[in-house]
Amino acid sequence: MAEALRARGVRVTILEPGPGVLHTLVDDDLRPLVEAVLQRHGVIVRRERAVGLDDGPGGAVRSVLTDRGERIGCQLVVLAMGIEPNTDLAVAAKVRPGDTGALAVDDCMRTNLPNVWACGDCVEVRRVIDGKKVYRPLAPTAFRTARVAGHNAARRGRGQPKAFPGVVGAAAVKVFDLEVAGAGLRLDEARDGGFEALAVTVRHWSHVPLLPGARPVHVRLVVERRRGRLLGATCLGERGAALRTDVLVPLLWDGWTVDRIRDLDLIYTPPFAPSLDPLIVAANEAAKRVHP
Ligand SMILES: Cc1cc2nc3c(=O)[nH]c(=O)nc-3n(C[C@H](O)[C@H](O)[C@H](O)COP(=O)(O)OP(=O)(O)OC[C@H]3O[C@@H](n4cnc5c(N)ncnc54)[C@H](O)[C@@H]3O)c2cc1C
């Protein structure tokens, strides 16, 4: 929204009372890069909470009041405060929600009620990295859970039911020219989940820097300290960041270690990737810090 409004010449202020913009996707150490891009494009980010609105004549919004007692003049307010599952209909029918607030389903997408399956944005799913139930309302989760629920509902009682294997939770956003992508756990999530985890961040290049268009790529890997198992990754950059993150998704699924990742023969071709891909450089750095 900020980008679209700036493209139309609208002045934009983001009020972010939490740890920072995109804090569910990006760890602390890379977040300043995101905020710098916003700033460069004229978006003001303020560490304040909106606590009230002032109406002008005719009921149109005139300003936002913040928890610091500031009044920010405006003509439009966009509330972007996260997403919650709308489970009212299902809960009224006695479908049980899980701890996340989304509907609880088993691996076959069955709810607690006979002959009622659920899928998509209203269900919680299993995170493969640690088995925890999480809420990940994203399109791939919706497609994949829908396929399982549909199959099982259509074949009820006949044949082998399909099971949903879970998610690692990969997502990306574009912040003006910056690709911001993450998969698996952030460092704080890994530690909260009981992992003894460390993180390394490297800055490398999208492709050979002598060639035109090469841009820095920042890779952060979250790794289990003792075994070196990859738990999560974040990639940022103006080129080649989002789809590099995708490379790590199957490795997160299969519990690869950074030692194994650094031995991958990823592409080296000057216009596409440097001789050591940023993922290899990051895995090398992480492997040095792993203590068996
Ligand atoms: C602006 C936006 C951008 C997004 N971008 C991305 C992205 O880039 N990548 C990504 O992975 N995900 C993205 N998502 C999330 C993705 O769109 C959702 O995860 C996905 O659409 C969920 O699919 P769903 O079928 O569960 O729900 P929906 O697509 O919301 O479909 C639910 C349907 O149920 C209907 N419905 C609701 N109540 C009733 C009722 N009582 N009776 C009958 N029908 C009803 C609704 O009208 C709707 O058609 C985005 C979401 C939004 C809003």
Model pLDDT for residues 24-70, shown as the tens digit of each residue: 999 889 999 999 999 999 999 999 999 999 998 888 999 999 999 99
163 found inside a domain: no
Atom of ligand 1 nearest to the CA of 145: 26
Comparing CA positions, the residue from 93, 229, 124, 237 lying closest to residue 175 is: 237
> Which atom of ligand 1 lies nearest, measured to the CA of 89?
41
CA of 120 to the centre of ligand 1 (A): 8
**Residue of 95, 121, 173 to test ligand 1 pocket, by largest number of atoms within 8 Å of CB:** 121
Residue 164 within a domain: no
Residues 144 and 198 in one domain: no
Q: Which atom of ligand 1 is nearest to the CA of 122?
A: 26
The verdict on residue 166 lying in a domain is no
CATH, residue 38: 3.50.50.60
Pair 217, 282 in one domain: yes
Q: What pLDDT does residue 291 have?
A: 76
What pLDDT is recorded for position 57? Answer: 82
Do 196 and 257 reside in the same domain of the chain?
A: yes
Distance 111 CA to ligand 1 centre (A): 20
pLDDT at 158: 80
Nearest-angstrom CA–CA distance, 252 and 250: 5
Domain final position from 106, 124, 154: 154
Domain that holds residue 32: 2-73
In a domain, 17, yes or no: yes
Domain count of the fold of the chain: 3
Q: Pick the closest to residue 214 from 197, 231, 238 (CA basis).
A: 238
Q: Which residues line ligand 1 (CB under 6 A)?
A: 89, 120-121, 137-140, 142
Q: Indicate whether 292 pLDDT > 80.
A: no
